[in-house]
Amino acid sequence: MKATDVFTPQRMPTVTLVSSHLDRMAEEYKGVMEEGGKLVRVVGPSKSGKTVFIKSSVGNDIVPVAGGGVGSPEQLWIRVLHSIGSDVAIENERVEARGGGFKASGEVEGNVFIAKGTVAGEVSRDKSFQASVTQTKAMDALQQVIKELGGTGLTVFVDDFHYIPATVQVELAQQIKQAVENGVRVAAAAVPFRSEDALRANDDLQGRIRDFTFHYWNEDELVEIATLGFEKLNIRCPHAYASSLAKEAAGSPQLMQSLCLETCRELGIYETSNSVVDVSGDPEFFRAVCQRVSASVDFSTTIKVMRDGPLTRGSARRTYVLKDGTAGDVYQIVLKAIALDPPSLHFTYVDLQGRVASICEGDSPHFSDPCFHISRLVNDRYSSDKIDWDAEQHLFSIRDPYLIFGIRWGC
């Protein structure tokens, strides 16, 4: 078996599908879908396994569509129809327009009016001008989705639902209600936000949403990915090494898959070995694997924004002497502190203060305001928040495991 079939960061895993901790949730999910009449939302942080959960629960009975780039409800339903290989039906209707001047007949092609007949016979001066044209318009895409998918047992799965603008979500909520009432199964994956989202706040879906909440995986669950996969490839992996990979994965099964796959490549193993191959415990080997993964994780511009901070006004920022003999301002120091061992997605003020102090030779900076500015600068670059600074709880959180990995290995 090929290593790329065992460890599948970008595809649905089979050999390394770890789902025992999700079995109860999967049963509840199937029950809700069979009951019908509800929108199922799988809510959890980025790269936490939401999509894999849906696909493993539904199997082949899934109609996947992406929420990114959807600017209207109709666009979403048209994507659904395209996904099932259905052409959007077209109907004709006759329309008339009145005004002063000429009378004409013809048809519309795109946005161009094509006149029919001769000028003498078809265009005439008339005080009660009437222009009759034949126009085409798309049949109501939602009704076509209901017609083709209602009662079929197929699930429309909208990935990255949070990318759909809030104003569109509100209008879409009314149409989703109509779809589920007519036997269309709809599931959506989204990341959690602090405030109640547009769908939850919409009266049309009150009582019709069933949330399944995901969290980042714990270390034991991630280690199981390594155990299953390496055994299949005849690779002997020490638990300590698998545990180190799990820590770097920061709760993301997808990132864990990448780390395991690059371990195979660093070993030169591309398919199941005829003899047992041992994973080296050498720190340089571990570093090489992480650097391999970091080559495909590009947050370089984001990291530069974090390091530079906002534009300064007037005098330059104060610099602090660091224990490694260099100097840096508060933004550079905070970035270095985040990158220290052990990897983490959440930093209390005390945690971050200890990390900052361990870097600085003497005085260390205050960083509440920098944490706020870093979160704002980074989040302005993305459609969903990557960093959260809770000023009341003094908690700095990174919402994307790939970002913390990039900070640690891509700086």
Structure tokens, 109? 């092609």
Asked if 70 and 175 count as a contact pair (C-beta separation under 8 A), the reply is no
With a CB cutoff of 8 Å and minimum separation 6, the contacts of 212 are 25, 28, 29, 40, 41, 42, 43, 53
Residue-by-residue pLDDT tens, the chain, 411 positions: 999 999 999 888 999 998 887 888 888 988 988 888 888 888 888 778 888 888 888 888 999 999 888 999 999 999 999 999 887 654 444 334 344 443 334 443 443 333 344 333 444 444 443 433 322 333 488 999 999 999 999 999 998 888 888 888 888 888 998 999 999 999 998 877 533 466 665 676 777 888 888 888 999 999 999 999 999 999 999 999 999 999 999 999 999 999 999 999 999 999 999 999 999 889 999 999 999 999 998 899 999 999 999 998 878 899 999 999 999 999 999 999 999 999 999 999 999 999 999 999 989 999 999 999 999 999 999 877 899 999 888 999 998 999 999 999 986
SS in 3 state form for the chain? CEHHHHCCCCCCCCCCCCCHHHHHHHHHHHHHHHHCCCEEEEECCCCCCHHHHHHHHHCCCEEEEECCCCCCHHHHHHHHHHHCCCCCCEEEEEEEEEEEEEEEEEEEECCEEEECCCHHHHCEEEEEEEEEEEEEEECCHHHHHHHHHCCCCCEEEEECHHHCCHHHHHHHHHHHHHHHHCCCEEEEEECCCCCCCHHHHCHHHCCCEEEEECCCCCHHHHHHHHHHHHHHCCEECCHHHHHHHHHHHCCCHHHHHHHHHHHHHHHCCCECCCCCEECCCCHHHHHHHHHHHHCCCCCHHHHHHHHHCCCCCCCCCCCEEECCCCEECHHHHHHHHHCCCCCCCEEEHHHHHHHHHHHECCCCCCCHHHHHHHHHHHHCCCCCCCEEEECCCCEEEECCHHHHHHHHHCC
Asked if 98 and 128 count as a contact pair (C-beta separation under 8 A), the reply is yes
Whole-number Å distance between alpha carbons of 159 and 232: 31
With a CB cutoff of 8 Å and minimum separation 6, the contacts of 218 are 251
C-alpha pair distances (Å), 240 with each of 220, 227, 243, 283, 344 = 12, 12, 5, 12, 18
Q: Is the dihedral angle over the CA atoms 90, 94, 99, 105 positive or is it negative?
A: positive
- For residue 331, count CB atoms less than 10 angstroms from its CB and return exposed for 0-12, middle for 13-18, buried for 19 or more: buried
- Identify which of 297, 285, 211, 206 has the alpha carbon closest to the alpha carbon of residue 249: 297
Asked if 105 and 96 count as a contact pair (C-beta separation under 8 A), the reply is no
